[in-house]
A and B are shown apart, each in its own frame.
Chain A
Amino acid sequence: MSTDWRPAICVQGRPETLSSRSIRLKVDNLGPVVAGQHIDIRLTADDGYQAVRSYSLSATPRGGPGGTPLGNSEVEIAVEELPEGEVSPYLVEALAPGDPLEVRGPVGGWFVWHPTDSEPVQLIGGGSGVAPLVAILRARIASTSAVPMRLLYSVRAPDTVYFADELASYTTSPNITVDLAYTRVAPHGEARPPGRLTDRDIENFVQEPGSGIVYVCGPNSFVAAVTDLLLARGYDSAAIRTERFGGA
């Protein structure tokens, strides 16, 4: 059952940006996994104190980085270290291969994508909110599905892009488009001036209303701002799915 805590070990940690990393976990008896789902992670301190946090899966067993399968019973998460945070600094800085933790889930059946889904997909992510969206892209690449997928990814600056090399490599994948929108610092030669997403960006980088499902994920304020823009542009709220990571 997805309610049970199961032992897991850290298999690998790879830096994503200066303040985040991807963590591969091997989970005992991992059940079926769908891209877009999240797991709960539980840490126990020596004195018995426990802390639980949720993390979206960035990779599923069948769709790992680049769409290649992970090892059996393995998943990945991408964690951003929050200043003063309790769990994320441990996951980003201290957790090492071989270290144990506990996992519950995967959970969620709403903010998910199945390879049998036939509608075009628009993904819109902010910061670490790109994690479940990348899981969806990876699942699509690992499958026989050819549905069009488009990612609009809002980031502060070029050095805060998660999965940067992999996303850049997707430019050659048929029916996959990746657009980056920088809020503070744009790379040299970027046409779009740095700034938060606007109605112009929705017009330029997001599929037409009525043509599929939109997945929006990131901090609260990001999700609220983007859904407002989408509704203003004429999207039906039933076509918009959101996942919020909490925080500003």
Chain B
Amino acid sequence: MAGFEGFASRRQTDPALPPGQHLERGFPVLSAGPDPNIKVWELQVATETGQRSWSWDDFLALPQEDITTDIHCVTSWSKLGTHWRGVSVDTLFDGLKTEQRFAMARSYGGYTTNLPLEDLLGGKAWVMHTFEGRPLASEHGGPARLFVPHLYFWKSAKWLQGIQTMAVDRPGFWENYGYHNHGDPWKEERYA
């Protein structure tokens, strides 16, 4: 392939960046519509055998974890070393039995995204309410969002309302609009 004369690299590459990603200093906002107006917040987790739900106070009373990690948006920006506080999805599923292998995350406002359960459990995913020491802003999914940093950020559903396990995988919102079903940034699983 011919060289691209004139285009010169201006930024350093960083081995922490997955292929095709660039460093971002700010925190761009991407959502499909307006921020939802959440009047009473409640979080639900449900499997084929039962369900649990938490009020805001119940949720904050659960064991909290502090996570420092990189995040990767499918639109090609990444932020490195971001700090978050929230509750592990393992904690939310504690005591709930399931044979099902898939899950749908559902947001206030109607957004959905699907994930294999193995990407949500085992210390890989959280429901976060604090970003860089401050309550998570509404534009970034506050009061609480799903956080699955090893996948592209559209899987980290903003304004999380609930997680429901599924026997059969079904596409969520962006997965229906041409985005990849899984979304691993290191494999560049961007579009279907």
Interface residues of A (CB under 8 A from B): 1-3, 7, 40, 42-47, 49-54, 86, 90, 94-95, 99-101, 104-105, 107-111, 220, 223-224, 227-228, 230-231, 237-238, 240-242, 244, 246-247
Contacts and interface: CB of A to CB of B under 8 A. Distances in A.
Which of B13, B37, B180 has most A Cβ within 10 Å? B13
Interface string B148-184: 0000000000000000000000000110111110000
B6 to A, nearest CB: 5
Contacts of A246: 26, 28-30, 75, 77
29 contacts: A2-B191, A3-B190, A3-B192, A44-B1, A44-B3, A46-B3, A46-B5, A50-B20, A51-B7, A52-B21, A86-B10, A100-B4, A107-B179, A109-B176, A110-B32, A110-B173, A111-B32, A227-B35, A228-B34, A231-B34, A237-B33, A237-B109, A240-B33, A240-B34, A242-B31, A242-B33, A244-B31, A246-B77, A247-B28
B76 to A, nearest CB: 5
A237 B28 contact: no
A95 B33 CA distance: 34
Contacts of A227: 33-35
B4 A244 contact: no
Contacts of B37: 231
The 5 A-B residue pairs with the shortest CB-CB distance in the complex, in nearest-first order: A49-B9, A246-B28, A109-B177, A227-B34, A52-B76
B139 interface: yes
Contacts of A40: 76
B192 to A, nearest CB: 7
Contacts of B2: 100
Main secondary structure of the interface of B (DSSP, over half): loop
Given A1-B191, A46-B8, A247-B26, 17 more contacts: A3-B180, A44-B3, A45-B9, A46-B5, A50-B20, A52-B20, A86-B11, A101-B4, A105-B191, A108-B178, A224-B139, A227-B35, A228-B34, A237-B36, A238-B33, A238-B110, A240-B33
A54 B7 contact: no
A9 B76 CA distance: 22
B9 A47 contact: yes
A44 B188 CA distance: 17
B124 interface: no
Contacts of B34: 227-228, 230-231, 237, 240, 242
Nearest to A110: B177
B22 interface: yes
B22 A52 contact: yes
B76 A53 contact: yes
A1 to B, nearest CB: 8
A231 B76 CA distance: 30
Contacts of A230: 34
